[in-house]
Amino acid sequence: MAVKAFFNPTSVEEAVDMMASQTGEGCYVAGGTDLLCEKEWPEFVVNVRDLLNHVALDGDEFVIGASATVSQIEYWQELTQADDGLMHGCAKAFASRQIRNMATLGGNLASAVPSADFAPPLLVLEAGCVVQGKEGARALPLDAFFSGPHRSVLEKDLLVEVRFPKPAAGTKACFLKIGRTPGDIAVVNVAVLLVLEGQTVKKARIALGAVAPTPIRVYQAETFLEDKPASEENFQQAAELAQQAASPISDQRGSHAYRSQMCMALTRRALRQCVGRDE
Amino acid sequence: MKVEKSTLKLTVNGQQKEFLVLANDRLSDVLRKEGYFGVKTGCYTGDCGTCTVLFNGDPIVCCLMLALQAQGGAVDTVEGMAVGAQLHPIQEAFLDEGAVQCGFCTPGMLLSAQALIHKVPDPSKAQIQEALSGNLCRCTGYERPIRAIQKAARRMKEETA
């Protein structure tokens, strides 16, 4: 299939109208780094590349437009200082310079692949999404955004932006990824966010990617850690809970057994890095 | 849906251009068709980096951009680096260091290097490695290009000092 029509909307409302009013298979396109790698292209595309590339700190909330590139996130110092380098670290582990200059946050989420690198960091930051549909805009937690491999709540709607609260001062956070090469998609990825009071974990957020039909928050491990000492034993047990929450598949990048082991190893490593104990 | 060509307005290497393109055309194919043969197409999946151009100053792999998405933008290809017979300092340094073997990856590497030096006039080896991480070379490897880029950065700094 070839792209027969190219639409260039000037507002989100217009973009959604174009998507809804055309017949045939259509797709929003921004960075193009996922869509143009597909063997089958849609009949029409609605270009949102230059429509939604805003990034801002809005009061106590960070706002990232869906068409903001990975490079924009990588170079956003205000964000890097506030989230302990979590999103910056994710951007740095994301493909090549050229791809980072093209690929967008919205595309990474809207493609809804289980390995989407930005999903775990945004899940631990407790991000919400703003989605534009024909009936207007609505907000929902990112946790409710993914519904399966390559499936999200979007259908014909447009992901407009992602918002998350500015982390409390002193928040520790870490993103880790295992891939065959830095440019390849993740075999397992994990994000951890900790708020400590002395040696006690007051708040824990843990999310994993590429080990379940969607990226997942590991609530069991979070609850287990909270109000407990940041000890090796507790980190080990939380990592094992993360491993139990995962249901990885076997594919050409890694087997079920390998991914399962790596869930544990990577979660433990991320927890240790958060408290400055590098492995 | 009727299939017709649209006009794509681009600034290529500083010159205003207009091309007739299909909605289905990749920017890389349009540039090659218009004679910018420095834009190679290797993989069409964004992995090899040989179609690297600067789009509004930033290196991108233009095989993954629909041509019409570039509407109104500025594209720099390797053809715009030399001024007449005078090679760009990065090109000179690639020759000096023997950083070219088959040459297929070279235009992309030169443009990645140009964007890096523009942003970081005195790049470290690690910064150069990161800047070249999306440009695959299957002949000489990366040591000579890295040395060339370091040399070019030093020369360009001296020239502007």
pLDDT values of chain B reduced to their tens digit, one per residue, 161 residues:
556 899 999 999 999 999 999 999 999 999 999 999 999 999 999 999 999 999 999 999 999 999 999 999 999 999 999 999 999 999 999 999 999 999 999 999 999 999 999 999 999 999 999 999 999 999 978 999 999 999 999 999 998 87
Which residue of A98, A100, A181 is the best one to mutate when testing the B interface, meaning the one whose CB has the most B CBs within 10 A?
A: A98
Q: Which CATH architecture has domain A55-165?
A: 2-Layer Sandwich (3.30)
Q: Quick check: A33 and B46 CB within 8 A?
A: yes
Domain ranges of chain A: 5-47, 55-165, 172-274
> Which of B60, B129, B135 to mutate to probe the A interface, most A CBs <10 Å?
B60
Q: Above pLDDT 70, what percent of chain A?
A: 100
User: Which chain A residues have any C-beta within 8 angstroms of a chain B C-beta?
Assistant: 2-6, 8, 24, 29, 31-33, 36-37, 41, 43-45, 47, 49, 71, 95-99, 101-102, 182-183
Give Rg (Cα) of chain B. 16
Which CATH code is given to the segment(s) B89-160? 1.10.150.120
Residue A182, pLDDT > 80, answer no
Contacts of A29 in chain B (CB under 8 A): 66, 69
Q: Are A211 and A256 in contact (CB under 8 A)?
A: no
Residue A272 · residue A278 · CB < 8 Å = yes
Mean pLDDT on A22-31: 96
Which residues from chain A sit within 8 angstroms of residue B52, using beta carbons? 98
Distance CA B19, CA B10 (A): 8
CATH topology of domain B6-80: Ubiquitin-like (UB roll) (3.10.20)
Select the CATH number that applies to the domain covering A172-274 from these four: 3.30.450.40, 3.30.530.20, 3.30.390.50, 1.10.1740.10. Answer: 3.30.390.50
Looking at residue A1, its pLDDT comes to 75
Question: Across the interface, which of B6, B26, B49 has its CB nearest the CB of A36?
Answer: B26
Q: Which of A79-83, A128-132, A275-279, B95-99 has the lowest mean pLDDT?
A: A275-279
Min distance B97 CA to chain A CA atoms (Å): 24
Q: Where do the structural domains in chain B lie, given as residue ranges?
A: 6-80, 89-160
- Residue A279 pLDDT: 63
pLDDT score for B3:
66
Predicted TM-score (pTM) of the model is 0.96
The mean per-residue pLDDT over the stretch A79-89 comes to 98
ipTM of the prediction: 0.96
How confident is the model at residue A277, as a pLDDT?
Answer: 86
